Structure 1
Amino acid sequence: MGAREMTPGVGFSRRVVLGAAALATIGACARRDASSALKTPAEETLDDDAPFSIEAIKADLLALDAVEHLRSGDAGERAISARTAGRLAALGYDVAEQLFEVPYFTAKTSALRWEGGEAEVFAQHIVTPTGPAGVEAPLRLWRLGDDPARLAGAIALVLLPYARHSQLIAKPSRESLDAALAGKPAAVVLITNGPTGETIMLNAPYAAPYAPVPIAVLGPKPGAAAIEAARLSVAGRLILDGESGRRPSHNLIARRTGPGKSLVVSTPRTAWTPAVAERGPGFAAFLAIAAWATGALPGRDLIFVQTTAHEYDNAGGLHFLESDLAPKPEDVFLWLHLGAGFAGRAHHEFGEFAVNPLSSVDAQRFLIGSDDLIPLLAREFAGQPGLENPYPESRGAVGELAEVFAKGYKPAFGMLAAHLRHHLMSDRIAMTDPEWVRMAAIAARNVIRARAEAFR
Structure 2
Amino acid sequence: MSEKLLQLASFGIRRTGSPGEERTRDWIATALESAGYRLGLTAFSADTLVDPAVAIELSSKTYEGFLQWMPPISLPAPLEGSVRLSLPDNARPGDCVVRAMQGPFSAYWTDALEAEVVAAARQGAAAYLMCTETPSGSIFAYNRSVTSSDLAIPVILYARRDHDLILAAAHQKHEARLSLSATRTSVSGVSLIGARLGKGAGLVISTPMTGWFGSVAERAPGILLARQLAEAYAKASFPVWIVASSGHEIGHLGMQQVLGALAPSPEEVRLWIHLGASLGATAQDEDYPLKSVHFRMATPGIEDLVDEAFGPMALSPLDPAQMRNGETGDVLSAGYKDVLGLTGVAATFHTPVDDGAAVNTGRLEQYERALRGVIDRRFAQT
What is the TM-score with the length of structure 1 in the denominator?
Answer: 0.77
Q: CA, structure 1 residues 127+209, in 2 after alignment: closer, same or farther (shift >3 Å)?
A: farther
Contact 2:71 2:151 in 1 (8 A): no
Partner of 1:319: 257
Quick one: distance in 1 between partners of 2:310 and 2:78? 55
Residue 377 (str. 1) matches residue 313 (str. 2): no
Partner of 2:84: 139
Pairing of 1:193-342 with structure 2 (within 5 A): 193-207=133-147, 210-295=150-235, 297-298=236-237, 300-321=238-259, 323-342=260-279
SS at match of 1:71: coil
Residue 84 (str. 1) matches residue 7 (str. 2): no
User: Shift of residue 162 of structure 1?
Assistant: 5.8
Q: Which residue identity is paired with 2:295? A: F
Partner of 1:156: 97
Residue 169 (str. 1) matches residue 106 (str. 2): no
Q: Which residue identity is paired with 1:76? A: G
Contact 1:199 1:222 in 2 (8 A): no
Quick one: distance in 1 between partners of 2:36 and 2:51? 40
Q: Which residue identity is paired with 1:355? A: Y
Contact 1:371 1:392 in 2 (8 A): no
Query: Any gaps of 5 or more consecutive residues in structure 2?
Result: none
Quick one: distance in 1 between partners of 2:55 and 2:292? 36
Quick one: distance in 2 between partners of 1:283 and 1:237? 41
Q: Which residue identity is paired with 1:168? A: W
Q: CA, structure 1 residues 426+109, in 2 after alignment: closer, same or farther (shift >3 Å)?
A: closer
Aligned sequence identity (%): 24
Deviations 1:25-80 (A, max 9, x none): xxxxxxxxxxxxxxxxxxxxxxxxxxxxxxxx212211222133101111111111
Q: CA, structure 1 residues 287+374, in 2 after alignment: closer, same or farther (shift >3 Å)?
A: same
Quick one: distance in 2 between partners of 1:168 and 1:396? 16
- Larger Rg belongs to: 1
Deviations 1:246-289 (A, max 9, x none): 11120011111223212111100001121121011101100001
Q: CA, structure 1 residues 106+222, in 2 after alignment: closer, same or farther (shift >3 Å)?
A: farther
Quick one: distance in 2 between partners of 1:249 and 1:210? 19
Contact 1:132 1:241 in 2 (8 A): no
Q: Which residue identity is paired with 2:288? A: V
User: Shift of residue 305 of structure 1?
Assistant: 0.6
Partner of 1:43: none
Contact 1:111 1:118 in 2 (8 A): yes
Partner of 2:5: 61
Residue 412 (str. 1) matches residue 345 (str. 2): no
Quick one: distance in 2 between partners of 1:160 and 1:450? 48
From 358, 364, 372, the equivalent of 1:431 is 358
Q: CA, structure 1 residues 216+394, in 2 after alignment: closer, same or farther (shift >3 Å)?
A: closer
Partner of 2:75: 130
SS at match of 2:130: strand
Quick one: distance in 2 between partners of 1:117 and 1:183? 28
Quick one: distance in 2 between partners of 1:434 and 1:60? 11
Contact 1:108 1:242 in 2 (8 A): yes
Q: CA, structure 1 residues 123+187, in 2 after alignment: closer, same or farther (shift >3 Å)?
A: same
Deviations 1:128-186 (A, max 9, x none): 363898344643343xxx63x63543111214446423222365x44544554453311
Q: Give the count of matched residue pairs.
A: 381
SS at match of 1:166: coil
User: Shift of residue 192 of structure 1?
Assistant: 1.6
- When structure 1 is superposed on structure 2, of 389-398 and 432-441 the one drifting more is 389-398
Q: Which residue identity is paired with 2:128? A: V
Pairing of 1:36-75 with structure 2 (within 5 A): 57-75=1-19
Contact 1:338 1:416 in 2 (8 A): yes
Q: Which residue identity is paired with 1:383? A: P
Q: CA, structure 1 residues 161+225, in 2 after alignment: closer, same or farther (shift >3 Å)?
A: closer
Quick one: distance in 1 between partners of 2:158 and 2:188? 28
Q: CA, structure 1 residues 421+247, in 2 after alignment: closer, same or farther (shift >3 Å)?
A: same
Q: Which residue identity is paired with 1:305? A: V
From 61, 64, 76, the equivalent of 1:117 is 61
User: Shift of residue 194 of structure 1?
Assistant: 1.9
Q: Which residue identity is paired with 1:246? A: S
Residue 96 (str. 1) matches residue 96 (str. 2): no
Quick one: distance in 2 between partners of 1:98 and 1:219? 36
What is the TM-score with the length of structure 2 in the denominator?
Answer: 0.91
From 297, 300, 317, the equivalent of 1:368 is 297
- When structure 1 is superposed on structure 2, of 280-289 and 251-260 the one drifting more is 251-260
Contact 1:135 1:186 in 2 (8 A): no
SS at match of 1:221: helix
Contact 1:377 1:390 in 2 (8 A): no
User: Shift of residue 81 of structure 1?
Assistant: 1.0
Quick one: distance in 2 between partners of 1:233 and 1:259? 69
Contact 2:85 2:175 in 1 (8 A): no
Quick one: distance in 1 between partners of 2:104 and 2:135? 7
Pairing of 1:340-351 with structure 2 (within 5 A): 340-345=277-282
CA RMSD of aligned residues (A): 2.5
- When structure 1 is superposed on structure 2, of 132-141 and 407-416 the one drifting more is 132-141
Quick one: distance in 2 between partners of 1:291 and 1:378? 25
